[in-house]
Structure 1
Amino acid sequence: MQPLAGQDLLHTQPHPMHWLATATAVSAVIAVSSLFQPPAATATAAGTASAPAAAAPDPSRVTFPVNCGPNRLDVVQKVSGDLDGAGGTQTVAVVRCHTEAGSPPSGVYVLAQPSDPKAAPRIVATLLAPAQRLSVQDVTLQGRAVSATLQGYSSPAVPRYMPDVHKTVKWQWQGGKFVQSELPASTATDGA
């Protein structure tokens, strides 16, 4: 059998150098074409890069100013939203010392994320300090207002299993700070 015309020519057989030259040429074409994009493509890419919204600050990355002794600190509730109307996202965290029974006092803190996303969130406001000896039963966010249902004790003589002070408070950003408003505290003796 005779070879077909051109099969016996050495330069018609693919060699590794041919593949390397072809790959280099294709890479060069792709690299050069990426330099010559239309202006609209560059603007779209830049607009897309700045569009993602910042994630809500994570309370598990914060060291709260609460001394729990040998017990751990629990984040029992959290809500997130734009509390100050500036376009960022803040987190309201309700924390308390861990206990198997009872309701230890709660702390309510507002967290913000620094500009460096790798940095831990920071506490920007204390809405309720544990020293106030109130426990948070529920926290909600409606619009930019944070509301909480609180309970506590009118005196040390009140049994710790039966809180007699119940109130609802609301915090809202006004004039550069969080302003608290609340309904009057009620006690078990109010109706007597």
Structure 2
Amino acid sequence: MKHRDDTRPLATGRHPSGTAAVAYDRDWAGEVRGAVRYATALLGLLLCLDGAAGSLTWWRGVLWLVTALLLLLVLSPARVSAGRGWLASRHLGRTRRVRTDLLIAVRPLDGVSRRLVLRDALGNRVEIDPEVLVRNPDLWYRLDEGARRAETVGILLTGTTALHTLARRVDRETALGVFRASGME
């Protein structure tokens, strides 16, 4: 079934591909391992408690397994990648991609977890965690490169303030990382 936000073929030209041209979230694998650990710990705890109470049956074991799998799905992070002119987010087998050089809106969403919603002129939409961009300057560079192009052309009309705020935060965190690495805290 096609969804409105699913990946669509690129409308204009192809971008260079290859590992050098694509940036990935470096912390993604660690976050997935953490989600698996939490789900496994929950399953073990539930099985032990139910077994100690003497009420563990096969259907209750299946119920605890389903509960642990649901926790795994909730905790598993989206895999964010970016290349020249695009940014993609893959979660639960579904990839959403926006053309960063055709961005028309960037909107921050506050709530339990902060999100950044990116929309392009082709109608595509991606939601990402801004912390991913802060932790991965190479992803931020790819997004910023395309967003600056869209802003220069004049199609990015909404959200430039949010992007500039995020840019200052990424610059500050990068500078602090350099100072920590050089021992100049």
The TM tier, using the shorter chain, reads under 0.3
Give the number of the structure whose residues are more often strand, by fraction. 1
Give the TM-score, by structure 2 length. 0.23
Greater percentage in helix: 2
Give the TM-score, by structure 1 length: 0.23
Q: Return the structure number with greater relative CO, CA threshold 8 A, min gap 6.
A: 2
Which of the two has higher C-alpha Rg? 1
